[in-house]
């Protein structure tokens, strides 16, 4: 750990300035990982604890699930040698897939596809069984975002519509009820790009293309907040912690704003602080849920780490706005993937602690996350990328430590874009969500029988793991016995739908 701290000050490309304030911020960041907060195993599943045979006990020891409450640091440190080195395709789709996330307890995985369907999977078994396939209402072009309630009884999704839509899962998965939640916007051609449930499940927050942040109260059954938060589209919103009071939003105006609802006036909204440093639009934000650190992904091809105690000054915000408007003028991330690349600038006054570069943000609002608290101590950042790869960064050093390639085709194209990623909150595997229809969802695991295949001769380069080539689908409809065998092999279901339709989605 001390070696990582020393590396802080030798990587000039990641340090905006060597001021005393910057050094203090890096030391504070190091301190949070030197003494991490303990995280308990909160899943409702008891299957793991019911296994008492020797093999299961050894497996639990290998993954740090034995005496986890006594030795969390040992579990966190073990992840350095347990990162994924094996992949398997668990679902294929006929159209690009936009969202894929675990429930808070890790027992469900839900995804949304451009075929207008939302799919729920049971993750308590190895087979990744598909529980439901729900056809969404009023989709239009595509489902843009989804969120599962903390109690797993309802699921919200957004489209190009004046409403959010709520699927009542507790009323049955075969034909669930879909309820529109009217946000009553003041503009036409309205869309919510990002949404999230509050920690208690009583509210849903959304960021829209009319520059506003919305909150819908499920108990009062009405919109309770509409704040003009930015000057451009709001691409990302999150609750910062479990209090429902602090909100963060990211926008195409290049800024990340923090709001306190307890002191928020809708008619004259003023954020409690602004993070300025990106030179292009913000596509996603994610909080470490400690009311202190958060990250943002941007069309300037970078992720930035922010400290809630170090907002940008007004003079720096004005300078960054002026610089940002002139740096990448005319470049559009949706269309110009093969044109001039965004220029990388470190702007004076940028209060970010660290900048992570190496992934590509094009075509769509690509997402990034802190790794789980329980298994990793949030020591990594994972992100999708438009080049068909998922990258894992070391939070402290900023290095790419692992490159997981979903697409075997290394030439960048819209069809290979990896939009979403999700690390299981308690178990050691990751699911990637790709526009590559044959590899819509890929599970990345650690295997004792595999070795990570590094495609670089230099040990300083990040290690690369690629998806193993899948066999061609059968031409004829299989018999019942063969169908069951295929179900087992491909983890969940067999589809005789032609998935060669890899047509490019329209722009967001």
State the Cα–Cα distance between residues 466 and 453, nearest whole angstrom.
8
Length of the chain: 508
Structure tokens belonging to residue 252: 């195409």
The span from the CA of 121 to the CA of 486, in Å, is: 17
- Give the domain extent around 270: 84-449
Q: Structure tokens of 83?
A: 């990162």
pLDDT at 55 over 80: no
Total of domains in the chain: 1
Helix (H) or strand (E) holding 56: helix 54-62
Average pLDDT on 363-378 reads: 93
What is the arithmetic mean of pLDDT over 265-291? 92
Q: What CATH number does the domain containing 223 carry?
A: 2.130.10.10
| Selection from 5, 3, 2 nearest residue 29 by Cα | 5
Domain annotation covers residue 330? yes
Establish if 466 belongs to a structural domain.
Answer: no
Note whether residue 478 is domain-resident: no
User: Which pLDDT score is estimated for 2?
Assistant: 45
Range in 246-255, 339-348, 355-364 with the lowest mean pLDDT: 339-348
Query: Is the separation of the CB atoms in 203 and 194 below 8 Å?
Result: no
Which carries the bigger pLDDT value, residue 10 or residue 443? 443
* Residues near 262 by beta carbon (within 8 Å), at least 6 away in sequence: 245
Residue 129 lies in a domain: yes
Q: Which two three-digit tokens encode residue 155?
A: 């699921």
Q: Give 48 or 145, the one with higher predicted confidence.
A: 145
Report how far apart, in Å, the C-alpha atoms of 147 and of each of 205, 213, 302, 393 are.
Answer: 10, 16, 25, 25
Let me know if residue 279 belongs to a domain: yes
Residues 65-112: pLDDT tens digits? 555 455 566 667 777 788 888 899 999 999 999 999 999 999 999 999
Judge whether 285 and 259 are in contact, CB under 8 Å. Answer: no
465 occurs within a structural domain:
no
Q: Can you tell me the distance from the alpha carbon of 2 to that of 24, in angstroms, rounded to the nearest whole number?
A: 15
pTM of the complete model: 0.82
Question: Does residue 414 lie within any of the structural domains?
Answer: yes
Residue 453 has pLDDT above 90, yes or no: no
Counting Cα atoms < 13 Å in the Cβ hemisphere of 46 gives 1
Condensed to tens digits (0 to 9), the pLDDT of residues 301-326 reads 999 999 999 999 988 788 877 776 66
Note whether residue 490 is domain-resident.
Answer: no
């Amino acid at each position: 750990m001390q070696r990582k701290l020393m590396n802080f000050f030798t990587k000039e490309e990641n340090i905006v300035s060597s001021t005393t304030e910057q050094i203090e911020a890096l030391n504070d960041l190091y301190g949070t990982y030197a003494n991490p907060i303990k995280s308990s195993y909160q899943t409702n599943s008891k299957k793991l604890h019911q296994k008492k045979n020797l093999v299961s006990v050894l497996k639990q020891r290998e993954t740090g699930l034995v005496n986890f409450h006594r030795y969390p640091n040992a579990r966190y440190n073990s992840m350095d040698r347990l990162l994924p080195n094996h992949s398997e395709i668990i679902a294929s789709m006929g159209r690009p897939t936009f969202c894929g996330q675990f429930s808070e307890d890790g027992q469900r995985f839900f995804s949304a596809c451009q075929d207008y369907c939302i799919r729920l999977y049971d993750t308590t078994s190895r087979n990744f069984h598909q529980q439901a396939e729900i056809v969404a209402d009023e989709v239009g072009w595509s489902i843009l975002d989804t969120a599962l309630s903390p109690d797993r009884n309802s699921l919200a999704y957004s489209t190009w519509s004046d409403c959010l839509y709520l699927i009542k899962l507790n009323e049955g998965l075969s034909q669930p009820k879909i309820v529109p939640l009217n946000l009553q916007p003041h503009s036409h051609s309205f869309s919510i790009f990002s949404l999230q449930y509050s920690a208690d499940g009583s509210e849903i927050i959304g960021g829209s293309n009319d520059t506003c942040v919305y909150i819908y109260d499920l108990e009062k059954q009405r919109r309770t907040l509409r704040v003009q938060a930015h000057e451009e589209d709001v691409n990302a919103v999150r609750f910062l912690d479990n209090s429902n009071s602090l909100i963060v939003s990211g926008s195409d105006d290049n800024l990340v704003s923090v709001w306190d609802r307890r002191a928020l006036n809708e008619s004259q909204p003023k954020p409690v602080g602004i993070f300025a440093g990106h030179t292009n639009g913000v596509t996603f934000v994610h909080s470490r849920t400690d009311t202190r650190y958060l990250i943002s992904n941007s069309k300037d091809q970078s992720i930035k780490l922010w400290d809630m105690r170090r907002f940008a000054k007004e003079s720096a915000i004005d300078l960054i706005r002026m610089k940002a408007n002139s740096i990448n003028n005319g470049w559009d991330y949706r269309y110009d993937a093969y044109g001039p690349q965004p220029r990388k600038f470190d702007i004076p006054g940028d209060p970010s602690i660290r900048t992570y570069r190496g992934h590509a943000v094009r075509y769509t609002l690509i997402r990034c996350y802190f790794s789980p608290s329980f298994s990793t101590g949030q020591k990594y950042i994972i992100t999708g990328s438009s080049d068909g790869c998922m990258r894992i960064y070391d939070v402290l050093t900023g290095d790419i430590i692992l490159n997981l390639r979903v697409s075997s085709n290394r030439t960048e194209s819209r069809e290979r874009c990896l939009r979403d990623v999700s690390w299981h909150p308690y178990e050691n595997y990751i699911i990637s969500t790709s526009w590559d229809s044959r590899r819509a969802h890929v599970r990345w695991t650690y295997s004792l029988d595999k070795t990570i295949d590094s495609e670089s001769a230099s040990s300083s380069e990040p290690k690369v793991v690629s998806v193993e080539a899948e066999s061609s689908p059968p031409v004829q409809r299989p018999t019942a016995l063969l169908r069951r065998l295929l179900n087992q092999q491909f983890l969940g279901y067999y589809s005789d739908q032609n998935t060669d339709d890899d047509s490019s989605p329209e722009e967001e």
